C-alpha cells in the first residue's frame, strides 16, 4: 500500500507541476523563458495546481517567489514542506489548463468571410487564408464561405478540399448560401462576389445589379458581424461597391471599409522589378492613386529600389521618363485586360495574393519606411473630394491605416489624380441613382 501513501502522491504531483517544466527550461533554452512565464501565470491563476505544497502548509506566495524566472536554483525551493493536516483547495484542480496555456496554437481563431468563395478568386484565396498567408503563421482561422444558391454544390466541393488539405491553422469551415449565417461573428470580410459586366450590358445595368448585392450583404454585416469587423471589397467596381456597403452598414467605422488596389500596386512593383532586373522585394513605395479601373494613376515619383549603394529613386535608375510617364502607366492600367486576353479568364491568383497582402499589412502593420496602396474613405487629403473611396498611399500600425501626408505632387500627377477622382464621382452619382 506504500505506493498509495500521501508522500508518494505528493511527490508525483510535485513532479508534474514543477520538474517537467524545469526540464523543458534546460532542454529547450530557446523556449525556456516563455515556458517559465506561462507556468508562473498559470500557477498564479490556478493555485490548486500547487496542491502538493498547499496541503503541506507552504503558502502559494512562498512557492511562486521561489520559482520566478529570476530564481530557478533548486536549492532555493522552499524547505518547509511538512506533513501538516491538509487544507482544502479553493478551486477545483484543472490540469488541462496548463497544457492549453503552453499550446502555441492557443490564440483565439479569427473568423474570415469570403463571398463568392466558389469562384476563381475565392478558390485561390481560401487556401492562402487557411495556410496563414493573410493573418500570420500562428493565427488560427475559421473560414466563412458565402456564395449564391446556384453555386452551392461547387461551394461544398471547396469545403471538402479544405478539409482534405488538413491545414493546421484551419479550425472550422462554414459553407453557406445564407448571408446571415455567412456574416455572423466574422472579424474580417473579403467581398469577392459581385455581378460581372456581360456583353451587351450597359454600365448602369451592371451598377444596378451590384448595388442590390452590396446593399443586401452590407445589411447582413451591419447586423451580424463582430464589432470592429474589417472589410475589403474586391469585386468590381470595387471603389463604388465599397461606398455602397458603407452606406448600408453605418455601424461599421468608415475606416474599416476598404477596397482592393493592392493588386495594381503589386503590378507596378512587378513592372519596375522586370525593367531593372532586380528582385521585386527590393522595390517599394510605388503608389496607385484613385479608382481600381483604367483611369487609375500608377505613380513612381516616390518609389525606391534597394541597391548595394543604398536606396535609390526609381526614376534615377530607370533613366527613361518617357517610359515611366507612358508605357509603364498604361501597362499597369491595362494589365487585367491583358491577362484576360492571355488566359481567357480574369486575374485570380494575383488578385487572391494581393487581397492577402492588403489584410496582412492592415492587421500586422507595414514595414518601417514602406507605404502601400489601399482604397480608403477620403478625408480630403491631397485635395481629393471627401466621401469617395479613393486609393491613397498608406502606412498601417496596430490595425489602423493612415494616409501618408506631405508627398510633393507635380503637375502631371495632379491632372491624373483629378481625372480618376472625376470618374469616381460619376460612379458614385450613378450608384445613388440606382438606389433611388
Task: List the one residue out of 108, 100, 6 whose CA is nearest residue 45.
Answer: 100
Catalytic member of 83, 224, 265, 292: 292
Long-range contacts of 273-276 (CB under 8 A, 24+ apart): 275/318, 275/323, 275/328, 276/305, 276/314, 276/317, 276/318
d(CA 351, CA 232): 12
Q: Is the distance from CB of 138 to CB of 174 less than 8 angstroms? A: no
Q: How far apart are CA 117 and CA 141, in angstroms?
A: 16
What span, in angstroms and rounded, lies between the C-alpha atoms of 225 and 83? Answer: 56
| Residues facing 290 on adjacent strands | 391
Q: How far apart are CA 121 and CA 234, in angstroms?
A: 9
Please give the Cα distance from 19 to 21 (Å, whole number).
Answer: 6
Looking up cell 500596386 gives 265
Q: How far is residue 89's CA from residue 80's CA, in Å, rounded to a whole number?
A: 19
Backbone angles phi, psi at 431, to 5 degrees: -65, -40
Examine the residue annotation and report whether 292 is marked as an active-site residue of this protein.
yes
Q: Helices 152-165 and 120-130, interaxial angle, to 10°?
A: 30
3-class DSSP state for residue 145?
strand
How far, in whole angstroms, is CA 87 from its chain's centroid? 49
- Catalytic positions are 292
Amino acid at each position: 500500500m506504500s505506493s498509495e501513501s500521501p508522500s508518494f502522491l505528493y511527490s508525483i504531483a510535485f513532479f508534474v507541476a514543477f520538474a517537467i517544466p524545469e526540464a523543458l527550461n534546460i532542454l529547450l533554452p530557446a523556449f525556456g523563458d516563455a515556458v517559465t512565464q506561462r507556468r508562473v501565470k498559470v500557477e498564479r491563476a490556478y493555485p490548486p495546481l500547487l496542491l502538493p505544497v498547499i496541503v503541506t502548509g507552504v503558502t502559494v506566495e512562498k512557492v511562486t517567489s521561489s520559482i520566478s524566472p529570476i530564481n530557478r536554483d533548486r536549492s532555493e525551493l522552499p524547505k518547509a514542506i511538512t506533513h501538516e493536516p491538509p487544507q482544502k483547495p479553493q478551486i477545483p484542480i484543472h490540469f488541462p489548463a496548463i497544457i492549453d496555456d503552453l499550446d502555441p496554437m492557443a490564440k483565439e481563431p479569427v473568423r474570415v468571410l469570403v463571398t463568392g468563395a466558389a469562384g476563381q478568386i475565392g478558390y485561390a484565396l481560401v487556401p492562402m487564408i487557411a495556410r496563414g498567408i493573410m493573418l500570420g503563421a500562428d493565427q488560427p482561422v475559421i473560414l466563412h464561405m458565402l456564395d449564391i444558391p446556384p453555386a452551392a454544390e461547387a461551394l461544398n466541393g471547396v469545403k471538402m478540399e479544405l478539409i482534405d488539405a488538413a491545414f493546421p491553422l484551419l479550425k472550422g469551415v462554414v459553407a453557406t448560401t445564407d448571408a446571415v449565417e455567412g456574416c455572423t461573428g466574422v472579424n474580417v470580410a473579403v467581398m469577392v462576389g459581385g455581378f460581372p459586366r456581360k456583353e451587351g450590358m450597359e454600365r448602369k445595368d451592371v451598377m444596378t445589379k451590384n448595388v442590390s448585392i452590396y446593399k443586401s450583404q452590407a445589411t447582413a454585416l451591419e447586423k451580424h458581424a463582430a464589432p470592429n469587423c474589417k472589410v475589403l471589397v474586391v469585386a468590381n467596381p470595387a471603389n463604388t461597391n465599397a461606398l455602397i456597403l458603407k452606406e448600408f452598414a453605418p455601424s461599421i467605422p468608415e475606416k474599416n471599409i476598404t477596397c482592393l488596389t493592392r493588386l495594381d500596386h503589386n503590378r507596378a512593383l512587378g513592372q519596375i522589378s522586370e525593367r531593372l532586373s532586380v528582385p521585386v522585394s527590393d522595390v517599394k513605395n510605388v503608389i496607385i492613386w484613385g479608382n481600381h479601373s483604367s483611369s487609375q494613376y500608377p505613380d513612381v515619383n516616390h518609389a525606391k529600389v534597394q541597391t548595394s549603394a543604398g536606396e535609390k529613386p526609381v526614376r534615377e535608375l530607370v533613366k527613361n521618363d518617357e517610359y515611366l510617364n507612358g508605357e509603364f502607366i498604361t501597362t499597369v492600367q491595362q494589365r487585367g485586360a491583358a491577362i484576360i486576353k492571355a488566359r481567357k479568364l480574369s486575374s485570380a491568383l494575383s488578385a487572391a495574393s494581393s487581397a492577402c497582402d492588403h489584410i496582412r499589412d492592415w492587421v500586422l502593420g507595414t514595414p518601417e519606411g514602406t507605404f502601400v496602396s489601399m482604397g480608403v474613405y477620403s478625408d480630403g487629403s491631397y485635395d481629393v473630394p471627401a466621401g469617395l473611396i479613393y486609393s491613397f498611399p498608406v502606412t498601417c500600425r496596430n490595425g489602423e491605416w493612415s494616409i501618408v501626408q506631405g508627398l510633393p505632387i507635380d503637375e502631371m500627377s495632379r491632372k491624373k489624380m483629378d481625372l480618376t477622382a472625376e470618374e469616381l464621382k460619376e460612379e458614385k452619382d450613378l450608384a445613388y441613382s440606382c438606389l433611388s
